[in-house]
Amino acid sequence: MVSFVSDYTTGAHPEVLAKLAETNLEPLPGYGADPYCESAKEKIRAACGLPEAEVFFLTGGTQTNAVVISTMLKDWEGVIAAKTGHVSVHEAGAIEYTGHEVLEVEQADGKIRPETLSAYLAAYYADESHEHMTFPGMVYVSHPTEYGTLYTKAELEGIAAVCREYGLRLYLDGARLTYGLMSRNTDLTLQDIARLCDVFYIGGTKAGALCGEAVVFTKGNMPAHFLTSVKKRGALLAKGRLLGVQFDALFTDDLYFRIGKHAVDMAEKMKDIFRARGIPLFIDSPTNQQFVILENGKLDRIAEQAAFEVWEKPDERHTVVRFAAGWSTTEADLAVLDAALAE
Amino acid sequence: MVSFVSDYTTGAHPEVLAKLAETNLEPLPGYGADPYCESAKEKIRAACGLPEAEVFFLTGGTQTNAVVISTMLKDWEGVIAAKTGHVSVHEAGAIEYTGHEVLEVEQADGKIRPETLSAYLAAYYADESHEHMTFPGMVYVSHPTEYGTLYTKAELEGIAAVCREYGLRLYLDGARLTYGLMSRNTDLTLQDIARLCDVFYIGGTKAGALCGEAVVFTKGNMPAHFLTSVKKRGALLAKGRLLGVQFDALFTDDLYFRIGKHAVDMAEKMKDIFRARGIPLFIDSPTNQQFVILENGKLDRIAEQAAFEVWEKPDERHTVVRFAAGWSTTEADLAVLDAALAE
Amino acid sequence: MVSFVSDYTTGAHPEVLAKLAETNLEPLPGYGADPYCESAKEKIRAACGLPEAEVFFLTGGTQTNAVVISTMLKDWEGVIAAKTGHVSVHEAGAIEYTGHEVLEVEQADGKIRPETLSAYLAAYYADESHEHMTFPGMVYVSHPTEYGTLYTKAELEGIAAVCREYGLRLYLDGARLTYGLMSRNTDLTLQDIARLCDVFYIGGTKAGALCGEAVVFTKGNMPAHFLTSVKKRGALLAKGRLLGVQFDALFTDDLYFRIGKHAVDMAEKMKDIFRARGIPLFIDSPTNQQFVILENGKLDRIAEQAAFEVWEKPDERHTVVRFAAGWSTTEADLAVLDAALAE
Amino acid sequence: MVSFVSDYTTGAHPEVLAKLAETNLEPLPGYGADPYCESAKEKIRAACGLPEAEVFFLTGGTQTNAVVISTMLKDWEGVIAAKTGHVSVHEAGAIEYTGHEVLEVEQADGKIRPETLSAYLAAYYADESHEHMTFPGMVYVSHPTEYGTLYTKAELEGIAAVCREYGLRLYLDGARLTYGLMSRNTDLTLQDIARLCDVFYIGGTKAGALCGEAVVFTKGNMPAHFLTSVKKRGALLAKGRLLGVQFDALFTDDLYFRIGKHAVDMAEKMKDIFRARGIPLFIDSPTNQQFVILENGKLDRIAEQAAFEVWEKPDERHTVVRFAAGWSTTEADLAVLDAALAE
């Protein structure tokens, strides 16, 4: 059986694994002070077009969100996020665990509109008792969003402009960033993101690493004594090399982007298959995840040959399911999927 | 130059790395639900002689301490630890970050004496205002301790008895557990530890893994909805396989114990070298770390050939340094050390 | 100028103040162990018809919400509240500060409908990944609500039934409870509330006390070592007598209910005045707060004689304002208001 | 029976109570925005000789410590305190609940010596791994200390100098400040304290108020949006007047200092009685609390006539007990004590 369950069902991309093996015997300092971390940071800075950016490696996505948000917010502040944002719904209260509120706003296709943000902030400051309410201090966006959708450059610029107007920091969760950057339907580059956001992360776990996310502080704004704050949150890896070596490999010979492009190519072919088989798309996603509407009766049969993730149940007779492509998805996998749908 | 800086300066033991490579392409469920996690848990249960034990994999030591302590303590409780305990000193306040107090008690060679514990608890309950003080809810011990020393079976039984008397949980931090178990001077087995402690962890990071610690709940006492609490603390790894596969390798063919024995053997030979060269031991450590007293004048010269960690400065003219052996320490490394000391 | 700004603009009801003065010189034990606290608890138990209830006095409303919610929730749980609930909006993130998420649901007139709750819980448990989401552990309702509206007995029974079905605790915020109990349009008694809720509080600050809220645990479910948890949250008053004496006075000769009835009577007369003057009600509130729609042009003129609180701006030309009655509101105050509206 | 149990066993000083009664019917804005709060702040600034000081009223001592420490520390910092400090021992972990570590140091008579502090900080920064340890960010001293002892001006200047050298804030817990200021054996004035400390509080609860502590920020350093942070911690009183009116009374006609002087006078007479009766002092306290060593056989008999607090048991046959004087202690009370000791 082939798996389209997610983009993190297989291990590491072979080039990542090879680099881990190749450097395995070198004695290196711990806690991120090794030359591979340094090299990886340098390559990420170059890719972002920001020679002055500060980069820090963490282990997973929820951890990264909690560490970044809680160290960048002031005591009296919370973070604005879409109701469907990962921090709003799927992190078991990890942000609240740090003592900060997630201020949920309406979304459209998983995205926050600049106007929504602007209206929220205007209303907040118009409220005479707003000192009794959590101050909005940051905006959290995910790109791609939880629905596989993408912000346009104009949209992200719009959000960044509102953030500047109200003195909020803008944070972009790039757990699946490469699939957004390599989408065929995007005008937003890594350099744009680095320019517009105060902080963002480049996801490794869902893009060919065993684990690891690279946080990029773009404006000389890495919190003071960040290593100590990371340690305090139990998020400092003793063998920092595990993260440094992997990101060094991902940013060598454009591997990170090749992984993204491959998965997007596979997802587009998947989309062609769905169309050819008359299966309606739930969302016309421009990234590596495809959401389709299946008749309940066919679910089990398909599942025998191609694993997927159940997303939601729009009515009694249908189910929305997600098929994700990743670095290890092959043409052969697609052929199995096509055959499974045919039956 | 050879390195004795710590037991986590090199990557993974080759058998661990091989298993990661071998399983790399298998699509597996995330978050620890894969068969390698299951297999590793089963092997750990067998090694502990506790078929009913619950096992959960986490990423690093400080994280593990914070997750275990904060989920097992009640709201009104704190954890007792030696003043020199890792949770007391070297975790940047990670336990306090969870809202719980570390209640520090006197130590001897890094260990808590049962009598010290007993006296502390008697005094606490004798205090008429003790409801205004943090209730002691757990005892934290590290084995080996931060000084490389070991509890005897009688000592750990003594502590466990006091814990039972006062209704405290006993937690053992086994970041370097294998080096304690494989010491030539110990009567405390893994089965003893599993029997005496309410919870403990088997350290992977410092024993041949890239990362990973295996928490063992010994009395059907894993906190309810533990996965959710782990997620809430940003400590749930998406690719749980990374931990499962490594621990599966570590507990195949006794690899975990072979790693410990090898490092202890190397450390004992190191001790012979020190003695032969007339270098005094600071502590006569029975585990993989050796602490010696060097004349300041010799520090730089030795450091050119064999890296070590500076521990403390007992007087103006001497320095205590730590030499650690690990899975990758070789006889050739020891020969370089010997030569460096000879000069 | 007279004030209708809120029900806590004047000091303590004279009977409360008299009791403070009368007992002032008695030496009493601290921290709530005095006989006035005991007597007040006994009277509250009697009023609730629950001889076994446990009562604890705290100082203010937000503090009470944070203490009760954070000590009754499990680590992995959050509290469900209406989007307009005090804990959702107006406590500056006090619940999140304790590490717990507020799970916001839709409201109608400030109230949660049983069906809304039921649907939320069904969807939560139907989600296959709900272990990655905060578990709902408690329902928070305010009565009267932030809009001065009231739950009917059937509505609260409906919510309690859903709570029982899903194993959630039901918590009622009674900051203004007396105005709900003494409303002319309610079928919900104090005994009903005590029977249906797991915990609730009887508000003193907004009902004639200088400060103080009485938390009632109705099912032998006061958290263990609650005094210590209260102390840990900085919420334990040294001179507990301040709370005990006031509540003893409030529950002597039905003072608490007389205060509520007086304010409701005044508010109903206020409503008559508004009607007579042709001023539309924004909400037809059955309690001590009246919300009316004023033309912007008249705001300043009225404000010169009768102070009120601005609530919201429904359109360019109108403003919703709140007029609150309390224990100290008099017929003379109403006459001033009437005159102010006449101009 | 007369009570010497503590300085907070009786209610409010009559002048405080009178002011509460006198202002009771005035409608006032909530949350500390009333003119009595403003007037009290102005009088406190004048008493401190610091026209620019910022003053904020809170309700109790543990609450004040937790609010001040947690809002003034940075994320990576902890607070240094004597092992015997109130925050170290008697606040049920309230500081840790805010996520910050209390770094305990040795004490002498309840005081931190400047040399102890200096040595601690030097060792901390000399440690190469100090980034893995909580940064010291503040020093907490209590004056009078938990043992009723006092810092000299030179000692506090010494501590302040070390704080400046290392960039730490100095915080003085003045729960019983008036008894220190009015001691016959002190050279430290309120103005000295205001000049040397970054922040301190003037205790009301233990000096004639029903509740209330006045926090004084001396260097334009009140944390931004402090009201919101106070609200977030459940520490913002709705009827702020309760605190403002009381402190306004306490700082009218030197009442605060008169209360202190009276209690110290009573305590000195108490000391004379102990000496005349041949009862040894445990500590020769210069403030309102006297600690004496009683034979166990006499405890019960004395307790029948004069209540006290048991402090500790130095040996099998003796008990250290505390007798405290307060605003309401009278010559008649002392006569009863004298008689009780005579028997």
Rounded distance between C-alpha atoms, residue D226 and residue D97, angstroms: 19
Q: Please report the pLDDT score of residue C336 as a whole number.
A: 96
Cα angle C119-C124-C126, degrees, rounded to a multiple of 5: 95
Rounded distance between C-alpha atoms, residue D100 and residue D78, angstroms: 5
Rounded distance between C-alpha atoms, residue D288 and residue D273, angstroms: 14
Measuring CA to CA, which residue among B134, D65, D227, D101 is closest to residue C234?
A: D65
Is 80 exceeded by the pLDDT of residue D272? yes
D342 touches chain C (CB under 8 A): no
Nearest Cα residue in chain D from B310: D128
- C13, containing H or E segment: none
C136 touches chain A (CB under 8 A): no
Rounded distance between C-alpha atoms, residue B241 and residue C231, angstroms: 43
- The average confidence (pLDDT) of chain B is 97
Q: Please report the pLDDT score of residue B312 as a whole number.
A: 86
Q: Please report the pLDDT score of residue B232 as a whole number.
A: 98
Concatenated DSSP letters of C155-216: HHHHHHHHHHHHT-EEEEEETTHHHHHT-SS----HHHHHHH-SEEEEE-GGGT-SS-EEEE
Contact assessment for residue D264 and residue D59, using Cβ atoms and an 8 Å cutoff: no
Longest dimension (CA), chain D: 63
- Upstream peptide bond of D144 is cis (omega within 30 degrees of 0): yes
Q: Give the mean pLDDT of D229-234.
A: 98
pLDDT band for position D343 (cuts 50, 70, 90): confident
CA B275 to chain centre: 27
pLDDT band for position A312 (cuts 50, 70, 90): confident
A137 touches chain D (CB under 8 A): no
Contact assessment for residue D180 and residue D136, using Cβ atoms and an 8 Å cutoff: no
CB D75 to CB A232 under 8 A? Answer: yes
Cβ contacts (< 8 Å) between D225 and chain A: which residues?
Answer: 74-76, 131, 135
Contact assessment for residue A181 and residue A153, using Cβ atoms and an 8 Å cutoff: no
pLDDT tens-digit map of A209-260? 999 999 999 999 999 999 999 999 999 999 999 999 999 999 999 999 999 9
- The average confidence (pLDDT) of chain A is 97
How far is the first Cα of chain B from the last one, in angstroms, to the nearest whole number? 15
Burial class (CB in 10 A: 0-12, 13-18, 19+), B310: middle
D128 touches chain A (CB under 8 A): no
Nearest Cα residue in chain D from A97: D99
Q: Please report the pLDDT score of residue B251 as a whole number.
A: 98
Crossing angle, helix C255-276 and helix C241-250, to 10 degrees? 70
CB C76 to CB B228 under 8 A? Answer: yes
pLDDT tens-digit map of B149-190? 999 999 999 999 999 999 999 999 999 999 999 999 999 999
Which contacts of B163-167 are long-range, i.e. CB under 8 A and separated by 24 or more positions? B163/B117, B163/B139, B163/B198, B165/B118, B165/B121, B166/B121, B166/B125, B166/B136
D66 touches chain C (CB under 8 A): yes
pLDDT in tens, chain C (343 residues): 899 999 999 999 999 999 999 999 999 999 999 999 999 999 999 999 999 999 999 999 999 999 999 999 999 999 999 999 999 999 999 999 999 999 999 999 999 999 999 999 999 999 989 999 999 999 999 999 999 999 999 999 999 999 999 999 999 999 999 999 999 999 999 999 999 999 999 999 999 999 999 999 999 999 999 999 999 999 999 999 999 999 999 999 999 999 999 999 999 999 999 999 999 999 889 999 999 999 999 999 999 999 999 988 889 999 999 999 999 999 999 999 999 998 7
Of C59, C64, C328, the CB nearest to D25: C328
Beta bridge partners, B135, equal: B77
Cα angle B238-B74-D67, degrees, rounded to a multiple of 5: 90
Q: Which two tokens stand for residue C14?
A: 């004279």
Contact assessment for residue A298 and residue A320, using Cβ atoms and an 8 Å cutoff: no
In sequence order, the 6+-apart residues with CB closer than 8 A to the CB of D15 are: D249, D252, D253, D255
Nearest Cα residue in chain D from A235: D132
B99 touches chain D (CB under 8 A): yes
Nearest Cα residue in chain B from A243: B210
Measuring CA to CA, which residue among C283, C341, C277 is closest to residue C311?
A: C283
Taken in order A110, A116, A121, A126, the sign of the CA dihedral is negative
Q: Which two tokens stand for residue A118?
A: 């602007």
- For D246, phi and psi rounded to 5 degrees? -65, -45
- D110 — alpha (psi -120 to 50), left (phi > 0) or beta? left
CB D238 to CB C30 under 8 A? Answer: no
B125 touches chain C (CB under 8 A): no
Cβ contacts (< 8 Å) between D61 and chain B: which residues?
Answer: none
Give chain B's domains with CATH numbers. Answer: 2-7+256-342 (3.90.1150.10), 26-253 (3.40.640.10)
B5-20 burial code (b ≥16 CB/10 A, e <16) = bbbbbbbbbbbbbebb
- For A233, phi and psi rounded to 5 degrees? -90, 10
Q: Please report the pLDDT score of residue D313 as a whole number.
A: 87
Nearest Cα of chain D lies from the Cα of A58 at a distance, in angstroms, of: 16
Is 80 exceeded by the pLDDT of residue A15? yes
How far is the first Cα of chain D from the last one, in angstroms, to the nearest whole number? 15
Rounded distance between C-alpha atoms, residue D28 and residue C10, angstroms: 6
Contact assessment for residue D237 and residue C210, using Cβ atoms and an 8 Å cutoff: no
Helix (H, G, I), strand (E, B), or coil: what is residue D50? coil
For chain A, the C-alpha Rg in angstroms (whole number) is 21
Overall size of chain B counted in residues: 343
- Upstream peptide bond of C144 is cis (omega within 30 degrees of 0): yes
CB B310 to CB D100 under 8 A? Answer: no
Q: Please report the pLDDT score of residue C340 as a whole number.
A: 94
Rounded distance between C-alpha atoms, residue D117 and residue D113, angstroms: 6
Cβ contacts (< 8 Å) between A135 and chain D: which residues?
Answer: 225, 228
- D316 — alpha (psi -120 to 50), left (phi > 0) or beta? alpha
Is 90 exceeded by the pLDDT of residue D325? yes
E strand map for C64-124:
77-82, 102-105
**Tokens 């907040």, located at residue:** A124
Amino acid type, A136: P
Q: What is the 3-state secondary structure (H, E, C) of D301-336?
A: HHHCCEECEEEEEEECCEEEEEEECCCCCCHHHHHH
Question: How many other β-carbons are positioned within 10 Å of the β-carbon of residue B265?
Answer: 16
Neighbours of chain B (3+ CB pairs under 8 A): A, C, D
Mutate to test the interface with B, among C70, C71, C74, C75 (most CBs of B within 10 A): C75
Q: Which two tokens stand for residue A290?
A: 């495809």
Is 90 exceeded by the pLDDT of residue B322? yes
Contact assessment for residue B138 and residue B80, using Cβ atoms and an 8 Å cutoff: yes
Is 90 exceeded by the pLDDT of residue A343? no
CB A75 to CB D71 under 8 A? Answer: yes
CB C131 to CB B231 under 8 A? Answer: yes
pLDDT band for position B343 (cuts 50, 70, 90): confident
Nearest Cα of chain A lies from the Cα of C99 at a distance, in angstroms, of: 4
pLDDT tens-digit map of B265-274? 999 999 999 9
pLDDT tens-digit map of A24-42? 999 999 999 999 999 999 9
Contact assessment for residue B267 and residue B284, using Cβ atoms and an 8 Å cutoff: no
Q: Please report the pLDDT score of residue B313 as a whole number.
A: 86
pLDDT band for position B1 (cuts 50, 70, 90): confident
A228 touches chain D (CB under 8 A): yes
Which DSSP symbol is given to B134?
A: P
Helices (H), chain A: 14-22, 35-48, 61-72, 86-89, 94-97, 114-126, 153-166, 177-181, 190-196, 226-232, 241-250, 255-276, 296-305, 331-342
Amino acid type, D38: E
Q: Which two tokens stand for residue A315?
A: 């009515």
pLDDT tens-digit map of D82-132? 999 999 999 999 999 999 999 999 999 999 999 999 999 999 999 989 999
Concatenated DSSP letters of B201-265: EEE-TTTT-SS-EEEEE-SS-PPTTHHHHHHHTT---SSTHHHHHHHHHHTSTTHHHHHHHHHHH
B228 touches chain C (CB under 8 A): yes
Neighbours of chain D (3+ CB pairs under 8 A): A, B, C
Distance set, CA A109 to CA A112, A143, A147, A148, A202 (Å): 9, 12, 7, 9, 22
